[in-house]
Chains A and B, each alone.
Chain A
Amino acid sequence: MSETDKEEERKSVQRVSVTETRLKISGDGTRGVLLGKKCQDCGQTFFGAPQFCLKCTSANLKPVELTGEGVVTTYTIVRQAPPGWQGDVPYLLATVRIPEGPHIASEVVDCPEEDLKVGLAVELTMRVGGTDKNGNEIVIYKWRPRPS
Chain B
Amino acid sequence: MVMKPGREVVIAGVGLHPFGRFPDKSAHDLARTAVLEALDDAKVGYKDIQAAYFGHVYYEGMSMGEIILGQLGLTGIPVINVENACSSGSTGLWLAFWAVATGQFDIVLAFGAEKVPRGPVTTTSSDSPERLIGADFMMASYAQMMRRYMSEYGAPAEAFAQVSVKAHKNASMNPYAHHKKVFTLEDVLNSRMISDPLTLFQCCPTSEGGSAAIICAREVADKYIKDPDRLVTIIGTGLRTTKFGDSDESDQIAAAGREAYEMSGVGPEDVDVVQVHDAGTSGELLGIESLKLVDKGQAWKLEMSGDTEIDGRLPVNTDGGLQGMGHPFGATGIRMIHELVTQLRGEAGDRQVKKANIGLAQCSGAGGIATVFLLRK
- Please give the residue numbers on chain A whose beta carbons come within 8 Å of chain B beta carbons, in ascending order: 18-19, 22, 44, 54-55, 73-87, 90-91, 93, 95, 105-107, 118, 129-130, 138, 140
Pair A129/B244 contact, Cβ less than 8 Å: no
Q: Give A133's nearest chain B residue, CB to CB.
A: B127
**B143 contacts which of A18, A22, A76 (Cβ < 8 Å)?**
A76
Instruction: Assess A18 versus B196: contact at CB under 8 Å? Given A74-B148, A80-B120, A118-B147.
Output: no
Chain B residues closer than 8 Å to A74, beta-carbon distance? 144-145, 147-148, 151
Provide the bound-state CA to CA distance between A73 and B133, in Å. Answer: 18
Provide the bound-state CA to CA distance between A54 and B250, in Å. Answer: 12
Pair A85/B131 contact, Cβ less than 8 Å: yes
| B195: Cβ under 8 A from any A Cβ | yes
Instruction: Assess A129 versus B133: contact at CB under 8 Å? Given A76-B143, A77-B196, A79-B193.
Output: yes
Among B20-28, B134-142, B159-167, the stretch that binds chain A is B134-142
Chain A residues closer than 8 Å to B133, beta-carbon distance? 18, 105-107, 129, 140
Q: Give B147's nearest chain A residue, CB to CB.
A: A74
| B132: Cβ under 8 A from any A Cβ | yes
Q: A22-B129, A79-B194, A85-B134 are in contact. List 14 more A-B contacts (CB 8 A).
A: A18-B133, A44-B244, A77-B196, A78-B196, A79-B193, A82-B136, A83-B119, A83-B120, A83-B122, A84-B128, A93-B134, A95-B144, A106-B134, A129-B133
Mark contacts of B241-254 with chain A using CB atoms, 8 A cut-off: 1 yes-contact digit, 0 otherwise: 00011000000000
Q: Give A90's nearest chain B residue, CB to CB.
A: B196
Work out how many contacts link A and B, with CB atoms closer than 8 A: 95
Chain A residues closer than 8 Å to B196, beta-carbon distance? 76-79, 90
Chain B residues closer than 8 Å to A75, beta-carbon distance? 144, 147
Pair A82/B122 contact, Cβ less than 8 Å: yes
Q: Give A55's nearest chain B residue, CB to CB.
A: B244
Mark contacts of B113-133 with chain A using CB atoms, 8 A cut-off: 1 yes-contact digit, 0 otherwise: 000000110100010111111
| B9: Cβ under 8 A from any A Cβ | no
Chain B residues closer than 8 Å to A106, beta-carbon distance? 133-135
A69 CB → nearest B CB, Å: 18
**B132 contacts which of A18, A54, A80, A95 (Cβ < 8 Å)?**
A18
Q: Give B130's nearest chain A residue, CB to CB.
A: A84
> Which of B139, B147, B192 has most chain A Cβ within 10 Å?
B147
- 20 A/B residue pairs, CB under 8 Å, sorted by A: A73-B148, A74-B144, A75-B147, A76-B147, A76-B196, A76-B197, A78-B140, A78-B195, A79-B193, A79-B195, A82-B120, A82-B131, A83-B120, A86-B132, A91-B134, A93-B195, A106-B135, A118-B151, A138-B132, A140-B133
Mark contacts of B298-313 with chain A using CB atoms, 8 A cut-off: 1 yes-contact digit, 0 otherwise: 0000000000000000
Chain B residues closer than 8 Å to A80, beta-carbon distance? 120, 139, 194-195
Chain A residues closer than 8 Å to B195, beta-carbon distance? 76-80, 93
Provide the bound-state CA to CA distance between A68 and B197, in Å. Answer: 28
Pair A84/B148 contact, Cβ less than 8 Å: no
A105 CB → nearest B CB, Å: 4
Chain A residues closer than 8 Å to B139, beta-carbon distance? 80
Chain B residues closer than 8 Å to A85, beta-carbon distance? 131-132, 134, 137
Shortest Cβ-Cβ A-B pairs, 4 listed: A84-B131, A77-B196, A82-B137, A76-B143
Q: Give B138's nearest chain A residue, CB to CB.
A: A82
**A87 contacts which of B122, B128, B134, B197 (Cβ < 8 Å)?**
B134
Instruction: Assess A18 versus B129: contact at CB under 8 Å? Given A76-B196, A79-B195.
Output: yes
